[in-house]
Structure 1
Amino acid sequence: MRHAHPVPLPARLVRTARLTLAPPGKENLPDLIRLKGDSRVFELMLHGTRSEARTREELEDDIDFWAVRGYGTWCVFHTESGEFLGICGLMERPDGRGVALRFALWPECRGHGYAREAARAGLEFGHRAGLARIIAVAWEENRASRQVLSDIGMEACDAFDYRGRHMIVYESLA
């Protein structure tokens, strides 16, 4: 008797030329608390900066999301130095718009192409995992994030207003 085997999901650990993207674990909590509590990084993110308690809850949610979906948010590390650079990943948007690519790296990472490298890897992973459509949302005036999304092949497809800001929706179709 033959057993049906499910289609295997891509390996969860992702390596690029310079980065290692790893699903978060409890050992990453201190880095995540610093990142998500920093207004330079999270002020413009959906729901803004996070408290330590909220970050703990989100970490538990991220771990569970990986277990259920087989994709999620990664912690992004510089492979050579092991330095924590930020996060990148795929999450279901609470507004029902779909699975969204997101990234948030330390401001000191700007200008090195790390966000683009991590975002491209996350997008490719999502499509390999079977997601036919992946979106991303960026504030209209956040030219750096919008440039990253365009550079990795995402196209503007919609817009909406949120907390007094005009937001642009991008999409990538498999």
Structure 2
Amino acid sequence: MRLAARRVVRTERLTLLPVGKENLPDLVRLKGDEEAFGLMLHGVRTPQRTAEELEDDIDFWEVRGYGTWAVHRSEDGEFLGITGLMERPDGRGVALRYALWPHFRGQGYAREAAKAALDFGHAAGLKRVIGIARETNVSSRAVMEDIGMAQAGEYHHQGHRMMVFESLTAA
């Protein structure tokens, strides 16, 4: 239980809780929504795929000591979305990710959650964390720039120009 408590991250306005089975209904809705998840790698998810990913996310926490958090507004416990650190399936490294409900955008929640996840990752010993966004996803790119990530490359994926950002800690 002490280990789980250290995985909870609190910011000025947010509480980040490692995802668990209790989050499945919220995750099914979030990951199935085109506006919320359409720009994520592999796009929107089916409920079955979301359940499988949740099992993987829970296991990832146990193996790595970091992973995906459910992002809640502290004042009322409202589920806003997710943020986290995950190993990229293409071998590019550990990547910062975040997806919030569209109606919560523009309020600084994504920046606050992403910065908290990034800081957690570096404190956990990750020397390099990347973030990837489509060139056309100006909002996501702005979040990464605002939290101190620098552009570090690009590549093409399924007809889209993908921008790679990174955050490095001192060696």
Which ranges of 4 or more aligned residues in structure 1 deviate by more than 2 Å?
Answer: none
Kindly state the Cα deviation for residue 140 of structure 1 after the two structures are TM-superposed: 0.5
Partner of residue 38, structure 2 = 43
Kindly state the Cα deviation for residue 41 of structure 1 after the two structures are TM-superposed: 1.0
- How high is the TM-score relative to the length of structure 2? 0.96
3-state secondary structure, aligned to 1:35: helix
Partner of residue 62, structure 2 = 67
Of the three residues 122, 143, 165, the one matched with 1:127 is: 122
Instruction: Please tell me whether the aligned partners of residues 13 and 23 of structure 1 are also in contact (alpha carbons under 8 angstroms).
Output: yes
Partner of residue 89, structure 1 = 84
- The verdict on how the C-alpha distance between 1:100 and 1:10 changes in structure 2, with shifts beyond 3 A counting, is farther
Give the Cα separation in 2 of the matches to 1:96 and 1:42. Answer: 22
Extract unaligned runs of 5+ from structure 1.
1-7
Give the Cα separation in 1 of the matches to 2:158 and 2:70. Answer: 28
3-state secondary structure, aligned to 2:151: strand
Kindly state the Cα deviation for residue 9 of structure 1 after the two structures are TM-superposed: 10
Matched, 1:56 2:64: no
Kindly state the Cα deviation for residue 42 of structure 1 after the two structures are TM-superposed: 1.0
3-state secondary structure, aligned to 2:6: coil
Give the Cα separation in 1 of the matches to 2:168 and 2:101. Answer: 29
Rg larger in structure:
1
Kindly state the Cα deviation for residue 106 of structure 1 after the two structures are TM-superposed: 0.3
Kindly state the Cα deviation for residue 44 of structure 1 after the two structures are TM-superposed: 1.1
Partner of residue 3, structure 1 = none
Give the Cα separation in 2 of the matches to 1:78 and 1:89. Answer: 16
Give the Cα separation in 2 of the matches to 1:42 and 1:112. Answer: 18
Partner of residue 136, structure 2 = 141
Instruction: Please tell me whether the aligned partners of residues 10 and 125 of structure 1 are also in contact (alpha carbons under 8 angstroms).
Output: no
Extract unaligned runs of 5+ from structure 2.
none
In structure 2, what residue type is equivalent to 1:172?
Answer: S
Partner of residue 168, structure 1 = 163
In structure 2, what residue type is equivalent to 1:119?
Answer: A
- How high is the TM-score relative to the length of structure 1? 0.94
Give the Cα separation in 2 of the matches to 1:10 and 1:98. Answer: 26
Give the Cα separation in 1 of the matches to 2:156 and 2:6. Answer: 37
Please list, as runs of the form range in 1=range in 2, the aligned pairs for 1:105-124 lying within 5 A after superposition: 105-124=100-119
Give the Cα separation in 2 of the matches to 1:41 and 1:96. Answer: 25
For 1:123-163, what per-residue CA distance to the aligned partner results, in whole angstroms no more than 9, with x for missing partners? 00000000000000011111111111000000000100111
Partner of residue 24, structure 2 = 29
In structure 2, what residue type is equivalent to 1:111?
Answer: G
| Identity percentage of aligned residues | 65
Matched, 1:80 2:48: no
Give the Cα separation in 1 of the matches to 2:134 and 2:39. Answer: 8
